[in-house]
Amino acid sequence: MFFPQQYWWDSAAWQVPDGVKYLSERWWELLKDWHCITSYSLPSSFCVSVLEDIAEVLDDLQGGRLRSCHQLDALYDELGQILSSNLLLAHAFPAEVNATVETFKNLYDSLPASPQDKYAELKKRHKECRRAAAAARRLHHRCFRRRATEDDMTWTGYGGLAAMELCREVAKDEPSYNRLDTLVEQLLLDCVYRGYNADYLTSLLDRYLPMKSDLRDGMLHMFRRLSSLKRHRYKIYFVVDGATDAEIRSSELRIDQHTKQSVEDLKSKLDEGRSAPTEIESEEGEIADADDVDEGTLSAGSVDVDEFLSQLDCDQLILSMHWQDSPDAGAAADDAKRRLQEIIDFLDFQSPMQRYDLHPKMLVTWEDRNGKLFARTYPDDSAQQPPQADYAARIDPNSAGKLSGLAEALRWSAVARREKTPEVSLLASWFAFEYLAGTVERTAVEGIVSYFPKVIAIGNVRRRLLYWWSSFAASPGFQGHEKKDALIEIAVAYRNRPNLSGIATLLYDSAQSSPNELGQAVLDIASQSVLLRHRTKIEGKRMANHQVLAHTVQDDDKEIRRELSQFLMIRNKLVHRARIDHPLLTVVSDRAKNRLYDLLRDLSVQLTAERIDGSVDEVLIDYRDTFDELLDELGSGPIDMNVLIQRISLA
């Protein structure tokens, strides 16, 4: 979780509601780590994308490009859940939603139970397939184009509906944080789907919410700017091994050489802080902005420059490349690096006796219209878990033959995390899934769908506890609290390893009506951040009420099952068509990599434990059995906290 040294609302001239504080913190968290969208209680379904996907799958079914109805069934279930639970769609487009539901009911009416017969019968229903696809496309068009009008604002498409509802929810005295979570995620996904610039959206949040005493006025200013689609001119800095100087020829691709001192001079500009927006009075007497706000991010300090320069260990070459027309700073860094890598590869070919290499860290800088400089370091590994110090690995040579599938999966996982092209990254992730599935079922797809969701769902319980503790320990009120040492003693075990039982106990104590001394300390520390306070309340409720925990595990299982079906659908399109036009492909590819990473962690931790000395298949079967037993125990009544931790740890 992102915790600045000082929140902007500490110096605001107006009383900032809790909803705005939560929105600002949550926005930053989602932008810094897309994995949070699916790993921590947020739904990942985006209705506009699902409508487009299911229409294409129906076309594939009628065109003979689909070998089974598994993909269609998964999308149909997902679509049914969206249309039944999404109140925004039901209120804005009632006729289109009802028509879509009716056509799909007719399509799936009286189908045989056998998968083969069901698939054959669906292929015969040409008229019903055409009507269902047409209804899905009609609703997709409404979600993407149709406008909703209020007295002071016109909202476009589904993203406009989410923004309008977000504007209302955040202004309430007691907003629903779960509702804000869903609306923020839907707005972000809609912006990515439409090609909006994420940095631009962040600068709008940073610029208008702190400066506008009228909250609604500030929110309206934000969303009125969404149609401008501003692009920045980025400047990306690289460190190159193999040369200390360069002769750069002039061309359309502008590349400059820099010294270490010239890069360090950027810190003085970055530390100037936030500049207030300039306002002028229009002819009608209204206050208007002097100029269009350009995209940016919340104020950055010199830490990014220091992190970039830490790569220098001798007189190495520092180059910068000017870049534009990218959706955000991260995309600009990836695009520029790909272009510069082509030049480096040519230098390697031209001078085979000299080895050139690009360092992994890049520094991206840009300015807004007011001349304020921003900088970010890519890739951002702040959310990655650092390696444990002084850790002894246990190696058993007899395990070599048992882990052939895991070894191949680790290789493909490395390809997926290193590859910047989303299509290749997604295919590599799927190949790793297939190798991990092994021979546990008749086919790899059956093994993936049957076992992997249960493994990751159990692992998510552990990850939520660890993520809460890392956020809690990084919060501003933790370091100076008098109970810090006592909290660490409970939550941290030998060699600074997190103690899951202790973390769960702290959350359980904080959720009681009369919390004990440490439970009250948790509440006091969490109260300084609206987002952390809400997350502490949610996680404490899960630990105190095991029925809620059971529902969370079941929901994770269903959600991950849908995601794996989505990965399979895109994989099939890539394999059979060699290309795919999917606006959210980058987001889906990142999800596939993160799900694969979680799965590998969950499997590897069991394969290195003393309790299990078998193959990946045995671990998958053990996870499946533990998942079913855990749900039975949680449903029958409260269980001891230590027993719960043993279950989720497969101990």
Q: Shortest CA distance to 322 belongs to which of 251, 246, 244?
A: 251
Rounded Cα gap, residues 427 and 290, in angstroms: 48
Rounded Cα gap, residues 280 and 283, in angstroms: 10
The predicted pLDDT at position 291 comes to 37
The verdict on residue 514 lying in a domain is yes
The three-point CA angle 549-624-597 to 5° equals 80
Tally the domains of the chain.
Answer: 3
Tokens (6 digits) for 129: 């397939």
Rounded Cα gap, residues 145 and 142, in angstroms: 5
624 or 229, greater pLDDT:
624
Q: What letter does residue 10 receive in the DSSP assignment?
A: G
Coil/strand/helix, residue 289: strand
Domain that holds residue 195: 15-212
186 and 258 in one domain? no
- Residue 35: pLDDT band by 50, 70, 90 thresholds? very low
129 and 24 in one domain? yes
Rounded Cα gap, residues 311 and 362, in angstroms: 10
Global pTM value? 0.72
Query: How distant, in Å, are the alpha carbons of 239, 328, 363, 441, 556 from that of 337?
Result: 11, 14, 11, 42, 36
Which has the minimum average pLDDT: 43-52, 53-62, 331-340, 456-465?
A: 43-52
The whole-chain average pLDDT of the chain stands at: 79
Task: For 2-18, give one letter per residue: b (16+ CB within 10 A) or e.
Answer: bbeeebbbeeeeeebbb
236 and 202 in one domain? no
Q: Which of 342, 360, 381 finishes a domain?
A: 381
Rounded Cα gap, residues 467 and 482, in angstroms: 23
The predicted pLDDT at position 613 comes to 58
Q: What share of the chain is helix, strand, coil (3-state, %, to 5)?
A: 60, 5, 30
The verdict on residue 283 lying in a domain is no
493 and 353 in one domain? no
Residue with tokens 């006025």: 217
- Name 635's Cβ contacts closer than 8 Å, sequence gap at least 6: 547, 550
Question: Which residues share a beta bridge with 156?
Answer: 147
Please report how the helices 444-473 and 530-544 are oriented relative to each other, as an axis angle in degrees rounded to 10: 120
174 and 233 in one domain? no
204 and 233 in one domain? no
Rounded Cα gap, residues 394 and 334, in angstroms: 37
% of the chain at pLDDT higher than 90: 16
167 and 242 in one domain? no
- SS3 per residue for 111-169: CCCCHHHHHHHHHHCHHHHHHHHHHHHHHHHHHHHCEEECCCCEEEHHHHHHHHHHHHH
Q: What letter does residue 365 receive in the DSSP assignment?
A: E
The predicted pLDDT at position 277 comes to 41
Cis amide prior to 360 (ω within 30 degrees)? no
Q: Which of 331, 363, 381 finishes a domain?
A: 381
Q: List pLDDT tens digits, range 193-226.
A: 877 766 667 777 776 666 666 667 777 777 766 6
Q: Does pLDDT of 432 surpass 80? A: yes
232 and 205 in one domain? no
Rounded Cα gap, residues 416 and 411, in angstroms: 9
- In a 13 Å sphere around the CA of 97, the CA atoms on its Cβ side amount to 19
Assess contact for 314 and 254: CB atoms under 8 A: no
CA 18 to chain centre: 24
Q: Shortest CA distance to 104 belongs to which of 87, 86, 129, 138?
A: 129
Q: Determine the average pLDDT of the residues in 329-348.
A: 85
Please report how the helices 546-577 and 422-437 are oriented relative to each other, as an axis angle in degrees rounded to 10: 120
Q: List pLDDT tens digits, range 352-403.
A: 888 888 888 899 988 766 677 888 888 766 545 556 666 677 676 666 666 6
Other residues' Cβ atoms within 10 Å of the Cβ of residue 252: 4
Q: List pLDDT tens digits, range 624-640.
A: 999 998 898 888 877 88
Rounded Cα gap, residues 434 and 405, in angstroms: 9
Q: List pLDDT tens digits, range 502-519.
A: 999 999 999 998 899 999
Q: Residue 127 carries which side chain, given as an amino acid letter? A: K
Q: List pLDDT tens digits, range 532-590.
A: 888 899 999 999 888 899 999 998 898 888 888 888 888 887 887 766 777 778 778 88
Assess contact for 472 and 536: CB atoms under 8 A: yes
Q: Does pLDDT of 299 surpass 90? A: no
598 and 453 in one domain? yes
Rounded Cα gap, residues 416 and 439, in angstroms: 23
Assess contact for 374 and 367: CB atoms under 8 A: yes
- Residue 320: pLDDT band by 50, 70, 90 thresholds? very high
469 and 331 in one domain? no
Dihedral (CA of 501, 495, 488, 552) sign: negative
Tokens (6 digits) for 76: 């149909």
253 and 127 in one domain? no
The verdict on residue 3 lying in a domain is no
The verdict on residue 418 lying in a domain is yes
The verdict on residue 233 lying in a domain is yes
The verdict on residue 575 lying in a domain is yes
The verdict on residue 8 lying in a domain is no
The verdict on residue 401 lying in a domain is no
Which has the minimum average pLDDT: 140-149, 279-288, 401-410?
A: 279-288
The predicted pLDDT at position 284 comes to 34
418 and 320 in one domain? no
Rounded Cα gap, residues 24 and 530, in angstroms: 10
The predicted pLDDT at position 563 comes to 86
Assess contact for 303 and 266: CB atoms under 8 A: no
